[in-house]
Amino acid sequence: MIDINEIMKMLPHRYPFLLIDRIIKLELNEYIEAIKNVTYNEPFFQGHFPHIPVMPGVLIVEAMAQNAGILAIKTDDISLDNKVVYFAGIDKCKFRKPVIPGDTLILKANIINHKGPVWKMKCTAFVKDNLVTEAVLTATIANHN
């Protein structure tokens, strides 16, 4: 289990854009699972949509990308002193069900391919046992000088 303090050492994101609360499973070179607790206090609910609050799909995808980035960082044991993981591509994205306040997103990523600094992962998001979003995401690790 990796808590929020360790996550903040790996990701440059901060509130309101840090979208991972805890890593609950990690198998280096294979798989990661994280959670994101969705609360009505999230700033995007003020405008998306005020009377029918729904988490924007693009933010679910961002949460999946952050989770996948942590898997790449941990698998390659990357020093983040001069490196950053960039979201580089999205394929086969589907939104299946809305995510609303009170839901707990269960974010999963499996490595499909890894060549040099480029990673491709199958990512999914669930609420309970219901698949809400899926995509194949690509990330690259680069210098941030």
Residue whose C-alpha is closest to residue 35's, from 61, 67, 73: 67
Kindly name the residue from 48, 51, 114, 144 that is annotated as catalytic: 48
- Beta-carbon count within 10 A of 104 CB: 13
Could you confirm whether 48 is annotated as catalytic?
yes
Report the catalytic residues: 48
